[in-house]
Amino acid sequence: MARTDVIEYHDNQNYPSHGRAVLGVVIVLGAFFAAGIYSLMGLWASYGTQVMNAINEILSVVSLVISPTDAAIGIAAILLGIILLSLFVAYGASWLAKRLGGTLIYIGAFFMNLMTLAIPIVILATGGPFAWQVLIPGLFTLFLTILLFTVFRDRVRRAGEIIKLTGQVCLDEKGVFVPPTLVMIFTLISAIMFGGIAFYSIDVLSGGNALLIISGAQDLTIETGWVAGIGIVLYLFATIFFYNFAYGTSSAMVYLYMRGRDPDLGDGVKSSLGVITGIIALSIMSVIIVIVRMILERLGREVGGVGGAAVGRAAGGVIGWIWALLNYFTIPAMVAEELGAKDGIKRSAGLVKDNFVDVMIKETAVRWGFSVLAVVFFLGFALGGAVVGWVAFAGDLIATIVLAVVFAVLAGIPVSLVLRTFDIVYVTLLYVFIRKKDGDFTKTVIPSAMERELEGAYSRAQTSE
């Protein structure tokens, strides 16, 4: 049994408070954004005229004149379009997940094998410019598919039911999409802030030679790059912290919903704030992991060129994979059981160890199924763009193709948002189901028919293993 449960805090509306930790985060992030804004202002003072001249030259080349009012209206229309696209994709993907469930896994497995094995075989058979080694990923995918649909077929069946439940939760608790949306916006703004800090600090410390350094014509030294180094650490912390905080917020909402409560976004935020010291610690650890991976790749490149860089990336990738695996259930466990970072990681590692097959099914079969939804919407929006282009430009083929590509690119924003949210919801649901099977609690809001299917698949899986 867990020591504490966020349910108790929710029912009593008395969540833990960590004012000093919140103040510390505000100070760090405030300093980062202040430095970013100051740097962007400095860059505009130095290069603003050049930037405007370049823009005017581009506009004159294409004979396009846009007034500031028209530009503002255009930007607002694009943002509104992206919001509407996101709402449509979120609802559509949730509905499809609820309706199709495990069918998505089978469709995803078919296309994965088609792309990685069938198509390369055809290309090789027709004398294509590839060696037989190109079949290795496909053979591995085929082996994995056979393993999933034979030895672990009951667990895959259960995963399909959790996919259905993922769609249902997203339809019932639409607020789970809000934190990942804010993270996407914040990440973009943070990247702009970091870019401003890096470029401006290098420009000032190098005596105006930032463009030469960035182009590689001049080396970046410790003397000219130390501020940018601090900037990248702050940038990594800011983006990782906000992602973890958003993950905790959405995960808490799913957990409370599954325990029979009716949470809102505020309950999710309060739950994350209740473990904010743990989220800060976890974010700092993740920043260190990212920096270690960057150092390994840099050392590999300096020691062995391209081959050494590949070895460095591989080593960093292994470290990153192990860290991600250890923390698979860390945030759901932290917000649900009010754990710190250390205890949360231990809890997650234990859950992963005892449920490793389910974790691997999520990262293979379920991810294949979610990818099907992504492909459907990419193709749908591309087709929509093609229709708009064909009608608006009287059958002009070039305009039709261009708009199809533009619509497909724009679809990437809502699709990325939905897939990220689905990952959070699915992992939290898996965490809830594991705890329920362990006897931590008995009551959930899983529909009776779905619960019978889940328990039946679980029992068959336990018997077969």
Beta carbons of 391 and 122 less than 8 angstroms apart: no
Position of tokens 């804010």? 182
CB 211 within 8 Å of CB 291: no
Phi and psi torsions of 244, nearest 5°: -65, -40
Q: Long-range contacts for 77-82 (Cβ within 8 Å, ≥24 apart)? A: 81/410, 82/410, 82/413, 82/414
The pTM score is 0.88
pLDDT of residue 67: 58
How is residue 211 written in tokens? 């463009």
Q: Which residues of the chain are under the pLDDT cut of 50?
A: 1-2, 62
Query: Which residue stretches of 259-275 are H helix?
Result: 265-274
Of 357, 329, 314, residue with least CA distance to 432: 329
Residues whose CB falls within 8 Å of the CB of residue 462, separated by 6 or more in sequence, listed in order: none
Instruction: Name 183's Cβ contacts closer than 8 Å, sequence gap at least 6.
Output: 242, 243, 246
Match 């202002």 to its residue by tokens: 41
User: How many angstroms separate the CA atoms of 242 and 244, rounded?
Assistant: 5
User: Alpha-carbon distance 314 to 297, whole Å?
Assistant: 8
CB 277 within 8 A of CB 340: yes
pLDDT at 2: 46
pLDDT tens profile 164-196: 999 999 999 999 999 998 998 899 899 999 999
Q: How far apart are CA 404 and CA 268, in angstroms?
A: 38
- For 407-429, how does the pLDDT look when each residue is reduced to its tens digit (9 = 90+)? 888 888 888 888 999 999 999 99
Distance CA 344, CA 278 (A): 8
The residue written with tokens 């004012």 in the block is 19
Q: What was the pLDDT predicted at 5?
A: 86
pLDDT digits (tens, 9 = 90+) for 342-372: 999 999 999 999 999 999 999 999 999 999 9
The structure tokens listed for 231 are 């900037």
Q: How much is the pLDDT for 208?
A: 81
The confidence score (pLDDT) of residue 1 equals: 42
